Chains A and B, each alone.
Chain A
Amino acid sequence: MMTGMQRLTAAINGTLADRIPVFCNLLDQGARELGLPLEEYYRSGELVAEAQLRMRAKYGYDCLWSLFYVGKEAELLGCSRMIYAKDGPPNVGEMIIKKYDDIARLQVPDDIASHPAFAEELKCLRILKAEAGGRYPICAYLTASMTMPSLLMGMEKWLQMLMMGPHDLRDELLAKCSDFFRKQIAAYRAAGADVLVYSNPFGSTDVIPRRFFDELSLPWMERDLGPGGTAGVVYYCGSARFNKVIDAVIRRLGIGVYYLSPMDDIAEGKRLVAGRGLTCGVINDIMLLHWSATEIRAEVKRMIAAGKPGGKFLFGTLVMPYNIPEENIRTMLEAAYEFGRFETP
């Protein structure tokens, strides 16, 4: 049997494998796996690593996550309050930019790897690397400069600043977020992450008009990724659609992996990537909360039929909601393994 890493490599290179790679993004479910409340679970890198390894072994999918929750990035920049729910992801509970002056005060840590807020993630990464490195791709999640301010000042104030200015402050904030991004991606690479999910809803034309994408998003993405390059980087717009910009992203940034929105047309996405990278078809996992087994199988089948022909295709989920029944997770995965199989010649 092949490992997840072999399947992923084969999909990227367009070589033979037993089946397409299948990524299943279970985060909060780790707490349930260990029988712990979310807040306790997320305090420890050891616990997160243990749950990630257990869930992967139990379900048989092809990835491991070092991401705890997205709000962690705000913690690295000084946020000290997270809001926990009992059945959903923690959220940033304090905006560290409350007024314009706070932008000048925002400090990008010199060394991410030695920052206390990164310590548990680093522990998690070390364990994942030791236990499964080279066999299962270890994924890290990074917020693009253009999206990061939404975690620091809220989406509402950020969109207002982005659209209405003041532009000098906007650019000052973006530059800091981009510096932060560069350090963060270097830290993840150094700690052994293989797959770097580059999350940028502002890289989607569902969120901003095309003119903004060309004039602002593209240049800032270039700045984010410039020094470190695009090896292992995955283009992802937080589940917003981006088929319309795939060609521009490939030409300008050269990113090699495209994690579509469930609302994007998979066959069209693949046509647009046009053999220049790996296309990932992503299921609308919110529907797994109540779809029947028949509905789940039909959807997985439809998606894989649209993306598998010719290879260079991966099946994936978004951030799976906590309350999806285990049975539905299995049904989805088994269907993906079955329909994703390649016939041996």
Chain B
Amino acid sequence: MLEQVMNQYNEAVMDTDRDQALLVVRDALALGVTPEEVVFNIVVPAIELMMKAISEEQGVTLAQHFMAAQIASEVVDDMVPRFRKAPESVGTVIIGTSQGDFHGLGKRIVSGCLKAMMVEVTDLGLNVAPERFVDEALAHDAQVIAISSMMVHTAQGENGCRRVRQILKERGLERRIRIAVGGAPYRFDPELYRNVGADAWAENGITAGRVITGLIREVRP
């Protein structure tokens, strides 16, 4: 039964039909599916299915990424308080846009996917100074700093990822904290993430979930 519900939910998400997706979840709960099952057997597998569609180049659009993240985070926000015991967090991520960059959509999509994967996300918002990324990562005991940039000059500028890397180095934090980057310029230049000193990048919000949880695992025993 769960698989059938998952398929219905996934279809609604791919169709960008939020109301339908939420209805599928509500009906499932009424039939006795637990909140835990909703998250781990419906929402998370649906994200994984989407990753598969992307890697098979079925052409998942920005609007679909946006809606998938939106719906997933709404459902998770609704389900987690109803869990029998608080879920174990996969890890903690600090996210924001680089200094001088006021484009928040990418960050929002990535955060939504991460939350659905039980990653705790602290969103520092737009135009974040490099020092602040590091300070907040320490304050929250985060494993990953995630930086989103939409333009070339904010991606590779001196107050973006490069500076964050330098600060991590200066403070001896490189073993504890990884850096992930993303946003339009990285898609146009897949090697750019190396140039700016990041550990990884992802092409879209859904794959960002996988890449970032991978980085968390690297530093979290």
A residues near B, CB below 8 A?
A: 83, 85, 87-89, 91-93, 154-156, 159-160, 162-164, 205-209, 212, 262, 284, 286-287, 289-290, 321-323
With CB as the reference atom, state the residue of chain A lying closest to B152.
A321
Say if the beta carbon of B55 comes within 8 Å of chain A. Answer: no
Known contacts A85-B153, A88-B151; decide if A155 and B63 are in contact (CB<8 Å): no
Provide the bound-state CA to CA distance between A323 and B23, in Å: 50
| Contact status B153-A93, CB under 8 Å | no
Given A87-B153, A89-B151, A321-B152: A208 touches B102 (CB 8 Å cut-off)? no
A323-B102 contact given A208-B62, A209-B64, CB 8 Å threshold: no
The answer on a CB contact under 8 Å between B153 and A156 is no
A166 CB to closest chain B CB (Å) equals 13
Please give the distance in Å from A312's CB to the nearest CB on chain B: 27
Q: Find B62's partner among A89, A206, A287 (CB 8 Å cutoff).
A: A206
B153 touches which of A209, A287, A321 (Cβ 8 Å): A321
The CA-CA distance from A156 to B151 in the complex, in Å, is: 16
Task: Indicate whether B108 reaches chain A with its CB closer than 8 angstroms.
Answer: yes
Q: Which of B18, B61, B66, B189 contacts A286 (CB 8 A)?
A: B189
Contacts of A88 in B (CB 8 A): 100, 151-154, 157
What chain A residues lie within 8 Å of B70 (beta carbons)?
A: 160, 164
In chain B between 85 and 113, which residues have their CB closer than 8 angstroms to a CB of chain A? 100, 102-105, 108
A159 to B66, CA, bound (A): 8
Given the known inter-chain contacts A159-B105, A284-B188, A287-B189, please indicate yes or no for A85 contacting B100, CB distance below 8 A: yes
With contact pairs A205-B59, A284-B188, A321-B152 given, residues A91 and B64 touching in the complex (Cβ less than 8 Å): no
Q: A89-B151, A159-B66, A286-B185 are in contact. Are A209 and B104 (CB under 8 A)?
A: no
User: What are 24 A-B interface contacts by the 8 Å CB criterion?
Assistant: A83-B102, A85-B154, A88-B152, A89-B151, A91-B102, A91-B151, A93-B102, A154-B103, A155-B103, A156-B104, A156-B105, A159-B62, A159-B63, A160-B70, A163-B16, A163-B63, A163-B67, A164-B18, A205-B61, A206-B61, A208-B62, A208-B63, A212-B63, A289-B189
Question: Is A87 a contact of B185 with CB atoms below 8 Å?
Answer: no
Shortest Cβ gap from B152 to chain A (Å): 4
With A205-B59, A207-B62, A262-B188 already in contact, the answer to whether A156 and B102 are too (CB < 8 A) is no
Taking a contact as CB atoms under 8 Å apart, the answer to whether B63 and A207 are in contact is yes
CA distance in complex: A205, B57 (Å)? 13
A208 touches B154 (CB 8 A): no
CB distance from A213 to the nearest CB of B (A): 9
With A156-B105, A284-B188 known to touch, is A208 a contact of B61 (CB < 8 Å)? yes
A83 to B103, CA, bound (A): 12
Distance between Cα atoms of A83 and B100 in the complex (Å): 8
A-chain residues with CB within 8 Å of residue B16 when the two chains form the complex: 163, 209, 212
A322 touching B153 in the complex, CB below 8 Å, given contacts A205-B61, A208-B61, A208-B62: yes
A284 to B64, CA, bound (A): 25
Q: In whole Å, how far is A78's beta carbon from the nearest beta carbon of chain B?
A: 18
CB distance from A221 to the nearest CB of B (A): 17
Could you tell me the distance between the alpha carbons of A321 and B70 in the complex, rounded to whole angstroms?
32
- In the complex, A164→B19 CA distance in Å? 9
Say whether B63 contacts A209, CB under 8 Å: yes
A118–B67 alpha-carbon span in the complex (Å)? 37
A83 to B126, CA, bound (A): 13
Residues of A within 8 A of B105 (CB): 154-156, 159
- Complex CA distance for A322 and B153, rounded to whole angstroms: 8
